[in-house]
Structure 1
């Protein structure tokens, strides 16, 4: 036990006198209107319940995390105010510290103080009503008015503590390298202004590059925290989901490191893009992994998005793609399932190929004569536009894009 620490946490009548002076109760007759402790604690519960009902940011069950924080703050604030009014000793700095921590928590979450101000408005209004009820049996003279004034000043002091804690955390985070790196990757992936990105990049020593690669995967979370990546990699970890931004020159090394840390999915990565295009690159990575899960991209330990640009483009608007498939692939739906699958794969391979018939036949592992027969059948089904109209051919290719997917038969 540390004697100094024990004394610091002891209730003090000197602290009560100091607070009475700060809120204007030291030279007034309000002392003749004592407040009942039990009624005050009931009032604290009423205040915390109203905050949760009226402030959306703090809504939730009363026994949840937010509910416990709000209830604890209301209990501490009301308890101290009642003690000060009743000339009872209070612990120096305990309530101020609690409310400063509330402000720090808001800053740590990256949120403004708007919700906290709204909560204080609700609490102040409720406290004034409840205070009037508590002193109903006493008097409605100058003493009651003084108590109301003291309450308003007291609430202002608590809000000052919140703001002080908020500013303290903002200052701390502005000099914390880990926070700055997390802030930097959020700015890059969020499409922030170049000047803002450059400013933080210089502060953390990240080698700002004209071209970057965005990578994404799921990683193993080991005891002790996040997976360790080279300093050149800006990483954002959300659960087991890792998103990484890296300059082009370091992309290959970071890719190898991420493949070592992968959990259930391959590492998807983009072709080099400018910093301003990083948000779009993130969307490509996310979509590539979704298509992998849907078996539209072959399995493996990595997904090179540059190899699947057409698939990503074709499946960027699923509703539009569905309408396209329903409209253009109608000729295939009347075929037996096995025949439909064969012609769909032939159509996809033939339309996307830029080499000769022999090469396409080899890719499909069929004889060139077999390929010729299939192509004739496809032209019969779709019409000569399939080979004479480039726009129509491209639209059909969009409709059959993606691996392992066929146009389904219409519902019965």
Structure 2
């Protein structure tokens, strides 16, 4: 039971009771909008069931905070609302959602419910001290509901979660090993995991998982072991289901205060390819910001796919300049690279090199002397472009 009651006028209590269906509906709608993990879970018939549960929880709050407690000291403290919260926690564990997601829903729901109920109280001229006590009781009540849900979640995991987690770890291992579609389907069934259309690898630096938890589909898988990069930093790698443009953007924003690397979308059976690209990007130190979307670095990934081959290609295409003095050679390589990137436009080349257009004309003349007809050969131009396309081309 709550530790105190608040003396509310009958008109206020009646107005709150009347508003509960609307408050419950708005609460669920806001949770769906702000906690993406519940968007599908609360749709349709399930959404109406949850509205009823929210309404019953608010009914429990009004009763406990405005009616005298039972005289029998032995009456169990956990009423229907708390029992329901406990069952909710167990159900969320069975669905694979974390307590972070559940508590995010409670925080969002409490904010909406308080806004609605306090609006009713204020409209009836409730004094400030009474309003403050009502707020204290309500958020204390929500804390108790949250605690019961967390306890139910923990018990369910203790009973069945460990087995499921082990099966999901085996599923991830089979995905990474490139197992057959039939074997993967069997592994998914044993893990009680409903396959999505696609999976996307997401690597997170230490401490970042909590920041993105509310944005993750409950079917998100994780690699059993963290991965260390060449500096020794530990990365957690997740496999996130069915990312689209909107959810991908949300995930990137949620990761902004941490280090993260996001791989390409792949059919769920081929998610190993997404993991491999993420790990390659980490090994390469790709990108300069905290969040790296590998889709933005495809050219660099291709150019650095085989560094030895790229080095050999550069040696081959720059051979005509080998007899020049190092300073002259470097200037001509710099000019050749700018000539390729700016498609021969002299003024743009001059601006990029911070030299006079006549200097560019002179250097291009030198290049033509050394390369001859190769500067008009499409195959030779392609080799030069690939060899000199990256910043470290000299």
TM superposition score category, shorter chain reference: 0.3 to 0.5
TM-score (norm 2): 0.45
Bigger-Rg structure (1/2): 1
TM-score (norm 1): 0.44
